[in-house]
Structure 1
Amino acid sequence: MLVQLSFSIFAIFLAFCIVKCIYAKLTSPLRNMAGPKPRDWLTGSYAEVRSEIRSAARIEEQWIGQFGPTMKISGFFGTASVYTIDTKAVHHVLFNNQIYRKTTPARYFLERMTGNPGLTSAEGDVHRNQRKIMAPAFGWPQVRDLTHIFIRKSQQLRDIFTAEINQNGGVARLDMSAWLHKVTLDIIGLAGFSRDINATGTKPGEPQDEILTTFEKLLAVELGPLDFLQGTYPILRNVSTSNERMRASSRAEMARIGMKILDDSKRDIAESSAFETNRARDLLSLLVRANTSKEIPEHQRMSDEDVLAQIITFLVAGHVTTSTTVTWTLFALSQNMDAQNRLRAELQSLATDSPTMDQLNELSYLDCVVREGLRVHGPVPHNVREAFCDDVLPLRTPWTDETGNLHHSVPIVKGTEVFIPMSMINLDPSIWGPDAKEFRPERWEKPIENDIPGVWGQVISFIGGPRGCIGYRFSLVEIKSLLFTLIRNFEFQLAVPAEDVGKKIVRVTAGPTLFSRPEAGVQLPMLVRPVTQA
């Protein structure tokens, strides 16, 4: 009887969703907007752009060539979404965050990971207050104080590579994705909350730091079909799933560990004068100091639970995107040996193994390489925003509807999703020229001007507007530190044919994978050899 009742409720709910989607499609102001046919009714066009990136990029190029920079694509259950690389439209979406916010499912998934709304999932006044409190921790002076951690951990990785090379007769085959994942975790552990996770130095079979073990369990929970439905339809969140139970268990363990880290930070701050210890310089301690500042009204301060959410945010946002960027930059340099050799010559010209932030930023070709790496291989290929009220989306390039009428804007109704393909904007030939897809660092030796709404460097890789990446300075110096140490000491070549390397989206980042071994997941095997210091 209970099974029959549950089935009946599900059938009624499914029928309601179908009727709702049909009504929305018939009444949508986008119904006459041209766009690609969806692959299927359930996932629409989203599955195509989240497929293996080589195929997805080719598909998106075909779409843009056929329908122009702004078009209609189908979302889940056939809902109409706007897809656009029009920089005027993208600027409008990113800079009007009171209208366009992270989608409801995205915020739901993020909060299931962090417990409370963190900086990546909070909206409105909550996001504004959190960003205000956290901003001082990510300024150039603070990153300058943390650069020695970036360099020290990069050198630890250098020494491990050297040992591997010596054990393998002068050349080692190493998975750069895995190693960079470990070292960036170590960096965010030390720079974020003065904890040496030592993922880089932990050998197989040795016990891991409990925060690393718990964090990996949290990330290991896969999203199933019901998770996506729960993200879209809150009524279904009352249904208990094995995924949510595992996630809740890992979240509780992470909260226990995080609370101890937070208590240690508070105690250390109370017992020491400002900036007397290394802990006083880490991101968490700077956050705790700012949160208790007299300049922050009591009602705007973050609770301990809110601060704990930032610890998980540090771990997720602070290492995945950076490790992915460095991995792809090494791939690009292995395909352009002239650029790799030129970069190495510049790095070896510096008479120290331990540069400061200012010395790193003065290396002009290194800066060009980092900019080009973030342009050609931005770690996050797509971003989606949901309209929380009706709006009109302005365009630089008009679109023609299926009846032949020309439009200079797009009518947006509440609930419409705007799909922003950041990778396609960074590779748009109309902005970057016919060699847009080529990794050519020299293009940055002359000033580049465009209207891409990014927070840094005329690219959109760090997003723009009020939700632009707060940690972009931290990430840039970390990337430069890793490249400085690795390229200065080693030569990198692909261990597989370049044609075997594809991109796989894991959650939001696009990591390297091999067509010949897709079951192995994200990886980038490279041959690493020592080079003679100049």
Structure 2
Amino acid sequence: MERPFFTAAIGFTTALTFLLLLWRRRRSDILRKIPGPPSSSWLYGHMQELILAENYGDHEFKWQEQYGMVYKVKGCFGQDRLMVSDPTALKYILNDNVTFARSEQQQRVVRELVGEKTISYVHGADHRRLRNIMNPAFSASYIHTLPPIFKKVADRLIENWETAQESHASDTPMDVFHSLHVASLDAIGEAVMGFSVHNHPDYVNSYADLLTLSSVRSKRAILADAFIPYVPRFIFSASMQLPTSAARFIRKNKNVSNRVSHELYQSRKETLGMGEKPKDLLSVMVKATMSNQSAGKMTQEEFSQVISAVVIAGHETTANTIAWALYELAKNPEYQEQLRQEINTKLTRGDPTCNDLDALLHLNAFMKEVLRIYAGLPISERQVTSDTVIPLSKPIITTTGEQIHEIPVDKGQHIAVTISAYNKLVPVWGKDALDFKPSRWLDGSVPTSNAIGPYANLLTFLGGSRVCIGWRFAITEMQVIISELLRHYYFNLPSESEICCNVAFTIIPVAKATGSPSLPLIVTRVE
């Protein structure tokens, strides 16, 4: 007996399957034809060149110049990765954090370091809920109340430097790197939590240990990171209980952070119960745990983890940016004099306001250039969760000479949002894009349209739904601390010191002689 419907269905299914296979084959073929540098190692791919370069970008920026705004590199074990700095592609990726999610490797590290209830881990509705709760504490109106707090932090930093210099000659180099990290941690503690971290050395030391851990760079560390997605979650979590220094540092930080968060929660809950209006992030979040409305509700577990995430994400990148600012000032004494004169002329009354700080044109041009050249996070990894097509601003010429205007990518594809490389794109910033040149922000040559990020068309704070929630906070903190340091000190580079720009989670200054995070400067008091 014939079954025409069954036969037709089989034929249709077979044809559809064949077309689907052809389509997927073409997608894979296109990816294989995207140009990129040759790899000499199946085991490491290009990861050694990207991560272990003496100065970050030694290879990446040359590859971008040679292969364009989208090219292909190899990860460990022969994995294909797309390096993306094309503005149109970046907007498409950053505006869709469902299709372009954080990579599995990143997510597991965040989970073990902070937890799976924090804003830097969750997606979708939970991410929107937490962000909406936190937004008032990072609004422009609240940021305008912070300069006096940041000035007190700067004053404490200056006092510490004065004490440290009492036993040294004025021309003896002083390593300012770790003291800047303590100051940035202090700024977040005071402005976000109403918590004086300088009175809690165990808290400060636990974050110093994390900084030491994140600064480790080696071929072994590259392979360890590459293996993370392939290790069952329960085994990876269990490894955090091993008696290794890395696991101890992470456990110590989580224990200290959870204890402090609990103490702050109980204290602030009492003051809010007495009618105090919530202002800082801590108060806003404590109030959210007391809410009866699901849309504005935050659990105590979320509260603790969000506090830890804000501290980790906020203090390290800002401290490193201030360090690089001082490095460039020490390299270029003419910038120092120009900025110092502007600061002394315009900041003449008490604590500066945000309006006062924003009116310092040369200081802000200098800061923008520091943020452009030394993006705190140079790369942000994404992993595609469903097949899609990425649009391009300019066509790519494949290795076979074909011109393509979009790139089809399959589920699972790894994509690197190349923040630092975008900040140095010649089509965006001009032929001198690799040069440190603050005057570009004053002569009208910087593009003001089609911005990706929230500040100065820079990608440093990312963009889209995952844009850095604390970018205004960071800018104001840097404005205050840099201006106060310039009021009090001259900065010069020691003749015998060579500083390298390494990537170790963030971009950090490293002494070439020791390989350790360090920024020795000759710091002389302004009389």
**Superposed pair shares fold, TM > 0.5:** yes
Alignment partner for residue 509 of structure 1, among 506, 509, 512?
506
Q: Show the 5 A alignment for 1:46-65.
A: 46-52=47-53, 54=55, 56-65=56-65
Q: Show the 5 A alignment for 1:65-144.
A: 65-144=65-144
Q: Do the aligned partners of residues 24 and 289 (structure 1) sit closer, same or farther apart at CA in structure 2, a change above 3 Å counting?
A: farther
Q: Show the 5 A alignment for 1:352-371.
A: 352=349, 354-371=351-368
Which residue pairs with 2:339 in the alignment? 343
Distance in structure 1 (CA, Å) of the matches to 2:158 and 2:287: 35
Would you say the 8 A contact 2:147–2:351 is kept in 1?
A: no
Distance in structure 1 (CA, Å) of the matches to 2:474 and 2:313: 10
Alignment partner for residue 287 of structure 1, among 281, 285, 289?
285
TM-score of the pair, normalised by structure 1: 0.85
Would you say the 8 A contact 2:53–2:59 is kept in 1?
A: no
Q: Does 1:316 align with 2:312?
A: yes
Distance in structure 2 (CA, Å) of the matches to 1:194 and 1:327: 25
Distance in structure 2 (CA, Å) of the matches to 1:85 and 1:58: 16
Which residue pairs with 1:463 in the alignment? 462
TM-score of the pair, normalised by structure 2: 0.86
Which residue pairs with 1:522 in the alignment? 517
1:213 shift after superposition? 3.5
Distance in structure 1 (CA, Å) of the matches to 2:211 and 2:166: 34
Which residue pairs with 1:9 in the alignment? none
1:227 shift after superposition? 5.3
Q: Do the aligned partners of residues 403 and 125 (structure 1) sit closer, same or farther apart at CA in structure 2, a change above 3 Å counting?
A: same
Which residue pairs with 2:15 in the alignment? none
Q: CA RMSD in A?
A: 2.6
1:345 shift after superposition? 0.2
Which residue pairs with 1:38 in the alignment? 39
Distance in structure 2 (CA, Å) of the matches to 1:26 and 1:96: 21
Q: Do the aligned partners of residues 245 and 166 (structure 1) sit closer, same or farther apart at CA in structure 2, a change above 3 Å counting?
A: closer
Q: Do the aligned partners of residues 150 and 94 (structure 1) sit closer, same or farther apart at CA in structure 2, a change above 3 Å counting?
A: same
Q: Do the aligned partners of residues 316 and 128 (structure 1) sit closer, same or farther apart at CA in structure 2, a change above 3 Å counting?
A: same
Q: Show the 5 A alignment for 1:199-238.
A: 208-217=200-209, 228=225, 231-235=228-232, 237-238=234-235
Distance in structure 1 (CA, Å) of the matches to 2:331 and 2:481: 19
Would you say the 8 A contact 2:285–2:298 is kept in 1?
A: no
Q: Do the aligned partners of residues 39 and 142 (structure 1) sit closer, same or farther apart at CA in structure 2, a change above 3 Å counting?
A: farther
Between 95-104 and 345-354, report the one with greater CA deviation. 345-354
Distance in structure 2 (CA, Å) of the matches to 1:258 and 1:336: 42
Which residue pairs with 1:6 in the alignment? none
Would you say the 8 A contact 1:230–1:236 is kept in 2?
A: no
Which residue pairs with 1:255 in the alignment? 258
1:251 shift after superposition? 2.3
Distance in structure 1 (CA, Å) of the matches to 2:295 and 2:441: 46
1:482 shift after superposition? 0.5
| 2:33 match: secondary structure | coil
Q: Do the aligned partners of residues 130 and 336 (structure 1) sit closer, same or farther apart at CA in structure 2, a change above 3 Å counting?
A: same
Distance in structure 2 (CA, Å) of the matches to 1:62 and 1:226: 24
Deviations 1:243-282 (A, max 9, x none): 58533464244323321221212112112421xxxxx533
Distance in structure 2 (CA, Å) of the matches to 1:425 and 1:408: 19
Would you say the 8 A contact 2:170–2:522 is kept in 1?
A: no
Between 208-217 and 425-434, report the one with greater CA deviation. 208-217
Would you say the 8 A contact 1:151–1:481 is kept in 2?
A: yes
1:378 shift after superposition? 1.6
Q: Does 1:305 align with 2:306?
A: no
Deviations 1:374-405 (A, max 9, x none): 11122211111111111101111211222221
Instruction: Name the aligned partner's letter for residue 338 of structure 1.
Output: E
1:117 shift after superposition? 3.0
Instruction: Name the aligned partner's letter for residue 483 of structure 2.
Output: F
1:346 shift after superposition? 0.7
Unaligned runs of 5+ in 1: 1-22, 200-207, 275-279
Deviations 1:197-232 (A, max 9, x none): 117xxxxxxxx5332244445555568578535631
Q: Do the aligned partners of residues 215 and 116 (structure 1) sit closer, same or farther apart at CA in structure 2, a change above 3 Å counting?
A: farther
Distance in structure 2 (CA, Å) of the matches to 1:461 and 1:493: 27
